[in-house]
Amino acid sequence: MVTRFLADTATLTGRSMKHVTRSPDTIITTAVMPIAIMLLFVYVFGGAIDTGPEAASGSYVDYMLPGVLLITVAMGVSYTAFRLFTDVQGGIFDRFDSMPIARSSALWAHVLTSLAANLTSLVLVVGVALLMGFQTGAGGLDWLAVAGVLVLFTLALTWVAVVAGLSARTVEGASVFSYPLIFLPFVSSAFVPTTSMPGPVRWFAENQPVTSIVDTVRALFAGRPVDGSTWTALAWCVGILVLAHAFAMVTYRRKSA
78: Cβ contacts below 8 Å, ≥ 6 apart: 161, 175, 177, 178
Q: Which of 24-38, 83-97, 179-193 has the lowest mean pLDDT?
A: 83-97
Domain ranges of the chain: 2-256
pLDDT in tens, 170-221: 877 877 888 888 999 999 999 988 888 898 999 999 999 999 999 999 999 9
Residue-level pLDDT at 236: 95
Whether the predicted pLDDT of 135 surpasses 70: yes
| pLDDT attached to residue 243 | 96
Average pLDDT over residues 5-25: 73
- On the question of pLDDT at 56 being above 50, the answer is no
Q: What confidence category does residue 52 fall into, taking pLDDT thresholds of 50, 70 and 90? A: low
Give whichever of 30-44, 46-60, 140-154, 176-190 has the largest mean pLDDT. Answer: 140-154
Q: What is the pLDDT of residues 120-133, one digit of tens each?
A: 899 999 999 999 98
User: In whole angstroms, what is the distance from residue 208 CA to residue 113 CA?
Assistant: 27
CA 61 – CA 120 distance, rounded (Å) = 20
pLDDT at 214: 95
Q: How far apart are CA 155 and CA 151, in angstroms?
A: 6
**Model confidence at 33, in pLDDT bands (50, 70, 90)?**
confident
Rounded-to-integer distance, Cα 149 and Cα 87, Å: 29
Task: Give the pLDDT confidence score for residue 179 in this predicted structure.
Answer: 86
| Signed CA dihedral, 132, 117, 37, 61: sign only | negative
The CA-based angle 111-24-149, given to 5 degrees, is 40
Greater model confidence, 138 or 58: 138
Mean per-residue pLDDT, 59-72: 92
Lowest mean pLDDT among 49-53, 72-76, 189-193, 234-238: 49-53
Kindly state the average pLDDT of the residues 222-239.
89
> What's the mean pLDDT when you consider all of the chain?
84
pLDDT for residue 234: 94
Burial 36-58 (b: 16+ CB within 10 A, else e): ebbeebbeeebeebebeebbeeb
Q: Please give the pLDDT value at position 187.
A: 93
* % residues pLDDT > 90 (the chain): 36
Q: Supply the DSSP symbol for 128.
A: H
25 pLDDT band (50/70/90 cuts)? low
